[in-house]
Structure 1
Amino acid sequence: MAAARDLKAMETVDADVDAVELAKRHLVQPWPFAGSVGAEARALIGEGEGIYITDASGKRLIDGPAGMWCINVGHRREELAKVMYDQAMALSYNTPWYTMNAPSAELAMRIAGHAPGDLSHVFFTTGGSSAVETALRFMQFYNNVRGRPEKKQILSRGGAYHGSTYLSASLNGRPRDRDWMDGADELVVKLSSPDPFRRPQGMSIEAFADFLVDQFRDTVARVGADRIGAFVGEPVQASGGVIVPPDGYLKRIREICRENGILFVSDEVVTGFGRLGHVFASGEMFGIDPDMITFAKGVTSGYFPLGGVIISERILQELRRSNHPDALFGHGLTYTSHPIGCAVALKNLDILEESVLAHTREVAPYFQAQLKTLEELPLVGEVRGMGLMGCVECVADRESKDPLKLDKDVGKRIDAHCHELGLLVRPLINMCVMSPPLIISREQIDDMVAILREGISRTMDDLRKEGVWRG
């Protein structure tokens, strides 16, 4: 045993053992396949600056996914690094169980100032999954205190992605997320994805919106409003392929929730903090005032793990007026309200408010228009998006919209070509998702789209040569 420990210690300091080999020996990657779990290395990134990252070979790449939807103000912002240092030197940590820190209180106030409706109180978490988990557990607590222990069912949708903790992952609506994983299936009812591209053939978008709303209303009637605690939905389904719902759909769902005492939880882990040009998209872009909003990612632009839930003042007042003042919301995290994370988020919010939000609103129409030109390519079924979120969906043919006749790794093929050409893409089976840092310029958008066009063109050539696709 001692010899094994000595060998492990030597590996960490042996200059001949590079990060790739160390990863294969010791690092378990997220979302691994059983055949390679614990023995896998992925593309090694060395550094970043602005909208660019540099891989292990020294190749400079446009960071198309902005990390994971999160590097909103760009890489290597010295002011954010300085805030981390300054806060760590002042107070690196305090227990949230019986103490608090000033950055968290100020950040809660500023976030509440941007939230729609009466959302005025913030519970901080470590990321998006724990934010959604917190919202769900708070819904359960709320209904228990109010004497409605049976009101716990959760409505979610196909195509949804809400996290990787047990409860949050139970809401996910992508089949591959759950093929081999367990979940709290008895608590979740799945509805159709609000994906206009996949609506029934011959159905108008307006009729599709009516179908979705009728399905929601019918589900509430079938399951029972007295059993449904919450609806959880992303304003734009991000990892589901940047699904922008039909106009007015979310407002109509919000009204049904209000009429039936169902908490509306808007999952803005991706859309929040500038991705659609505003700190929150729920009110500004979709005209809704949820009961809770979950956020993470862009709140610190990925410089520090932080997330949270904004909660309606009405809900908190109802709890304070209840007959159970001693009821305990037994939920918290070691790093809840972390002082460094909150300090970074405050400076990040300064940067967003000073110029980045306005810049995003200014360049977003150009970004969407330039991406839309890729529909000229026969492999592309649809280009869709909103703000600085975009998706290119590839199909075997535009009539059937069938992605299954293609190589299932067509997204990875495109990403590989784009990597060679200077762009990192987020591949999702037959889709390529783009969500660049919000500081991207028009010229950089041109570069990104030109590379993506060439990457798709090279993939079309590959598929033709292999006889996989004839387009």
Structure 2
Amino acid sequence: MTADFPRNTPSPQDVQAMDKAHHLHPWTNFGPFEEKGALVMSRGEGCWLWDAGGRRYFDAIGGMWCTNIGLGRREMAEAIADQVTRLAFSNTFVDTTNEPAALLAAKLASLAPGDLNRVHFTTSGSAAVDTAYRMVHYYQTAMGRPEKTQVIARDYSYHGSTYISQSVGKRPGDRVPFFRYQETGIHHLTAPNPYRAPDGMDEAAFCDWLVAEFEAKLAEIGPEKVGGFFAEPIQASGGVIVPPEGYLQRMAAICRQHDILFVADEVVTAFGRLGHWFASEAEFGIQPDMITCAKGLTSGYLPLGALIFSDRIWQAMAADGARWFTSGFTYSGHPVACAAALKNIEIIEREDLLGNATRVGALFEARMKALEALPMVGQVRGRKLMICVENVADKATRALLPEDLDVGTRIADTCEAMGLMVRPLGHLNVMSPPLTLTAADVGMVGDTLERAIRQVADDLVREGVKLG
């Protein structure tokens, strides 16, 4: 049926009605969506959003971990418009390229750690992870190890929503019974979450336990069959899980010992979220074989992802000059998206937004950590501009509230009514504000979130819920 479009500029109610009637959103929750529809956003500037009704919200979510330089940058619009005028599209298949793609590939190579000097452009972080999975197979086969194609990841990881990237990830909320996932050749280890360590282990003992689990899994599968290990430096959508000290370095050492490619999924952590261009080496002291990135690469202004990989991998794949790497996308190296990324990186450099993320990120960590004094907050974790609040029923036992109470959404909805947007993930609330965050913003976000958590806790107690 053809939609009945309004003749004039549609009202907010018209837009919401059309959206509700026709738009399948990512991660649609059908009951609430069919009842209430979606909140229509119409404008953004800096850290702020305005809905179609003119109401303003401070976006502490940062879009989707991505609006690093903030919204509404005129110079971004000008760079995009200029590239559209000069060359709106040119494919990069086989032996054709364009200036922005070549310049961006060189720039990323200069920013990435070690010998990660080769870049394959994608349209998203999911597609970058999908490509990394395929490259593990390609590289190991090119090295004469065609059986070494199984991969290992972790529970509570999120690596994307393509078929393979979602199979590599294993966040409980993503594994619905209506879909099937790749099971053969993909294995998962315990999430490195010290707050949920078994048997009350301290962090050092938990780290030893996790490393031993990895070694046992390799012995079970056979290290000659394992080609890649996928790891977010900090597990983002799985709950901002910061691993124990030394964990990633020890896992990387085991990978090197067994010729297993270490794939660092930096779709969230790259481009300033932790105060660095890339977090793997600068924050955690590891040199990965591949880095997947997206989000902050363009600060969300246009879709673009990238797989950055080592010269060693390139040389192995290219050793037989007759080979083809049969993976890529129509919009790989899209000139307009690459121009946007170059301008985005220029702004981050010029305004020292990495430095701001480090300085203001320390204030943000401290203010959020103070929320642990609240009766319902079990832990606040994360680093710099990547923070999670874990809400619990009992702080001593760390027991969770019943799932049907949906405490994270209650808190997010209460914040939204106060003009603040935080992201609910089950019993968690996560924040990843733009790198332009100020000290004053930190105070406002902290005070608003504290009021919201207190209000929700009071409401739950009135409903008869016992909070320890």
In the alignment, is the contact (CA less than 8 A) between 2:401 and 2:407 conserved in 1? no
Within the candidate set 129, 140, 161, 2:158 is matched to: 161
2:72 aligned with 1:76: yes
In the alignment, is the contact (CA less than 8 A) between 1:411 and 1:432 conserved in 2? yes
Q: Which amino acid aligns with 1:301?
A: S
CA–CA separation in structure 1 for the residues paired with 2:381 and 2:428: 11
In the alignment, is the contact (CA less than 8 A) between 2:299 and 2:344 conserved in 1? yes
In the alignment, is the contact (CA less than 8 A) between 1:257 and 1:264 conserved in 2? yes
Q: Which amino acid aligns with 1:364?
A: G
For residue 320 of structure 1, report the CA deviation from its aligned partner: 2.6
In the alignment, is the contact (CA less than 8 A) between 1:51 and 1:440 conserved in 2? yes
1:21-32 equivalences in 2 (<5 Å): 21-32=17-28
- What's 1:235 paired with? 233
- What's 2:200 paired with? 202
1:382-397 equivalences in 2 (<5 Å): 382-397=379-394
For residue 439 of structure 1, report the CA deviation from its aligned partner: 0.2
- What's 1:398 paired with? 395
CA–CA separation in structure 1 for the residues paired with 2:10 and 2:427: 40
- What's 1:141 paired with? 138
2:257 aligned with 1:259: yes
Query: Which consecutive residues of structure 2, in runs of 5 or more, have no partner in the other structure?
Result: none
- What's 2:293 paired with? 295
RMSD of Structure 2 on Structure 1 (CA): 1.6
CA–CA separation in structure 2 for the residues paired with 1:104 and 1:348: 14
2:173 aligned with 1:176: yes
CA–CA separation in structure 2 for the residues paired with 1:307 and 1:408: 36
2:10 aligned with 1:15: yes
Q: Which amino acid aligns with 2:46?
A: G
In the alignment, is the contact (CA less than 8 A) between 2:147 and 2:225 conserved in 1? yes
* Cα distance change on mapping 1:372 and 1:211 into 2, 3 Å: same
CA–CA separation in structure 2 for the residues paired with 1:139 and 1:12: 53
Q: Which amino acid aligns with 1:320?
A: A
CA–CA separation in structure 1 for the residues paired with 2:9 and 2:434: 36
User: Deviation digits for residues 403-446 of structure 1, max 9, x if unmatched?
Assistant: 14364410110011111111001001101001101101000110
* Cα distance change on mapping 1:50 and 1:427 into 2, 3 Å: same
After TM superposition, the runs of 4+ consecutive aligned structure 1 residues lying more than 4 A away are 11-14, 34-40
2:354 aligned with 1:357: yes
Within the candidate set 432, 435, 455, 1:438 is matched to: 435
For residue 40 of structure 1, report the CA deviation from its aligned partner: 6.7
In the alignment, is the contact (CA less than 8 A) between 1:28 and 1:38 conserved in 2? no
Equivalenced residue count is: 464
- What's 1:338 paired with? 334
User: Deviation digits for residues 128-168 of structure 1, max 9, x if unmatched?
Assistant: 10010011111111222233222111101011000000110
CA–CA separation in structure 1 for the residues paired with 2:414 and 2:162: 34
SS for the counterpart of 1:185 is coil
User: Deviation digits for residues 89-121 of structure 1, max 9, x if unmatched?
Assistant: 010000122421011111111111111111001
User: Deviation digits for residues 31-81 of structure 1, max 9, x if unmatched?
Assistant: 123557788722211111111111233221110110000000001011111
The TM-score, its normalising length taken from structure 1, stands at 0.95
CA–CA separation in structure 1 for the residues paired with 2:372 and 2:39: 29
In the alignment, is the contact (CA less than 8 A) between 1:154 and 1:187 conserved in 2? yes
CA–CA separation in structure 2 for the residues paired with 1:173 and 1:469: 31
2:83 aligned with 1:58: no
CA–CA separation in structure 2 for the residues paired with 1:42 and 1:10: 18
Q: Which amino acid aligns with 2:211?
A: V
CA–CA separation in structure 2 for the residues paired with 1:131 and 1:123: 8
For residue 399 of structure 1, report the CA deviation from its aligned partner: 2.0
* Cα distance change on mapping 1:318 and 1:15 into 2, 3 Å: closer
CA–CA separation in structure 1 for the residues paired with 2:403 and 2:188: 27
Q: Which amino acid aligns with 1:310?
A: I
Within the candidate set 129, 143, 151, 1:132 is matched to: 129
* Cα distance change on mapping 1:250 and 1:470 into 2, 3 Å: closer
CA–CA separation in structure 1 for the residues paired with 2:391 and 2:326: 46
In the alignment, is the contact (CA less than 8 A) between 2:375 and 2:467 conserved in 1? no
In the alignment, is the contact (CA less than 8 A) between 1:157 and 1:193 conserved in 2? yes
User: Deviation digits for residues 309-348 of structure 1, max 9, x if unmatched?
Assistant: 0010011112233xx4322211110100000111010011
Q: Which amino acid aligns with 1:421?
A: M
CA–CA separation in structure 2 for the residues paired with 1:49 and 1:60: 10
Percent sequence identity is 45
- What's 2:422 paired with? 425
CA–CA separation in structure 2 for the residues paired with 1:314 and 1:222: 28
- What's 2:309 paired with? 311
CA–CA separation in structure 2 for the residues paired with 1:116 and 1:457: 43
User: Deviation digits for residues 350-375 of structure 1, max 9, x if unmatched?
Assistant: 11112211111111111100001101
The TM-score, its normalising length taken from structure 2, stands at 0.96
CA–CA separation in structure 1 for the residues paired with 2:133 and 2:36: 34
* Cα distance change on mapping 1:145 and 1:11 into 2, 3 Å: farther
CA–CA separation in structure 2 for the residues paired with 1:294 and 1:408: 36
For residue 12 of structure 1, report the CA deviation from its aligned partner: 7.6
CA–CA separation in structure 2 for the residues paired with 1:240 and 1:69: 13
